[in-house]
Amino acid sequence: MSAAAASGATGATTGLAVRGLTVAVRGRALVDAASWHAPTGAITALVGPNGAGKSTMLRAIAGVLPERARRGGAVLLDGAALAGPGALPPRERARRVALVEQTADAVPQLTAREAVRLGRTPHHRMLGFSLGDERLVEAALADAGAAGLADRPLGELSGGELQRVHVARALAQQPRLLLLDEPTNHLDVAWQLELLQLVRRLAADRPVVMTVHDLALAATHADRVVLVDRGRVVAEGVPDAVLTPERIRAVYGVEAEIDAAPGGVAIRYRRMEP
């Protein structure tokens, strides 16, 4: 657990502030008046059961909810509105916020480099790419560990390789806020650590928010944890304050035994006794 956790927690205007965010589809609230904060310089993990609304929150922040979704509340990044009243226009928003989704479609014939180049889209007018862009694209590929994949068609990549390409595309966007939906999915343990190290580097000068199912991973690598259940924020703060056996029992319905060692947190789960 990093000491960075405490530093940004109080400043309400820097970093990402989600205020009373509500998303409803056909009258059903997927996110219900959620308020939380992701400070610059920290990794914030969104955790919660399946269907808790974690991904929906990320999509709402990135402005890619389906048209029929009704939304309310406000999302502010360093004081500028990403959603809600006076929100930035889509292109302007896309210059500041990058989202790596769990189920991004892959065009099989597009090469990895071409896919990463698309990350430059919001920074451009209609014509061509500048040479500076090409450097950024190569740097993003290298940072995400995808340099060796650059000329391969996406259709030939494995799930983990594809994930690295999607992260590289997000980096090419040069975002001031990085949103990752289950970024460690599809990655073997070595690449998980590699990715988390990259995320740590990226979090140095921007807020990073990632949804995570693995609570031990969240407790070990995130500075702050936001626990979500049925669209509502249950608790928010440093991991060991949020992820307690009581809360895990209340939210997930399982018994948890948390073992916080210096190298990382391990959690053993048991079904609850009837």
Instruction: Say which residue the tokens 């480099």 belong to.
Output: 113
**Contact stretch for another protein (CB under 8 A) within 17-25, 26-34, 105-113, 234-242:** 105-113
Query: Mask: binding to another protein, 149-168, rule CB under 8 A, as x and -?
Result: xxxxx-xx------------
Applying CB under 8 A, does 64 fall inside the site for another protein?
A: yes
Q: Check binding of 108 to another protein (CB under 8 A).
A: yes
Binding of another protein by 11 (CB under 8 A): no
CB 219 within 8 A of CB 243: yes
Helix axes 189-202, 159-172, angle to 10 degrees: 10
Strand 80-83 to strand 97-100: parallel, antiparallel, or no bridges (unpaired)?
Answer: unpaired
Pick the piece of the chain touching another protein (CB under 8 A) from 4-12, 75-83, 119-127, 187-195.
119-127
Query: Which structure tokens are listed for 233?
Result: 């924020």
By CB under 8 A, the residues from 233 to 262 that bind another protein are none
List, in sequence order, every residue forming a beta bridge with 70; answer none if it has no partner.
Answer: 24
Q: Is 105 in the site for another protein (CB under 8 A)?
A: yes
Q: Which of 4, 5, 3, 2 is nearest to 237 (CA)?
A: 5
From the list 18, 52, 94, 208, which residue makes contact with another protein (rule: CB under 8 A)? 94
Complex with another protein: residue 129 or 269, whichever CB lies closer: 129
Nearer to another protein, 62 or 217 (CB): 62
Residue 95 near another protein by CB under 8 A: yes
Structural element, H or E, at residue 253: none
In terms of CB distance, is 182 or 223 closer to another protein?
A: 182
Residues 6+ apart with CB under 8 A from 93: 62, 63, 82, 87
**By C-alpha distance, which of 178, 170, 184 is closest to 116?**
170
Q: CB 60 → another protein: shortest distance, Å?
A: 12
Angle, helices 131-143/159-172, rounded to nearest 10 degrees: 140
Total residues contacting another protein (rule CB under 8 A)? 51
CA distance 191 to 248: 27
Smallest distance from the beta carbon of 216 to another protein, in angstroms?
A: 29
Rounded Cα gap, residues 7 and 223, in angstroms: 10
Burial of 67: CB neighbours in 10 Å, binned 0-12, 13-18, 19+: exposed
Among 54, 71, 93, 206, binds another protein (CB under 8 A): 93
Q: Among 26, 86, 126, 270, indicate the residue that binds another protein (CB under 8 A).
A: 126
Distance CA 103, CA 182 (A): 10
Q: Write down the least CB distance from residue 31 to another protein, Å.
A: 16
Indicate the residue type of 93. R
> Interface with another protein by CB under 8 A: which range of 44-52, 141-149, 195-203, 257-265?
141-149
- Which residues are at the interface with another protein (CB under 8 A)? 59, 62-64, 67, 90-95, 97-99, 101, 104-111, 113-115, 117-119, 121-122, 124, 126-128, 131, 134, 137-138, 141-142, 147-153, 155-156, 173
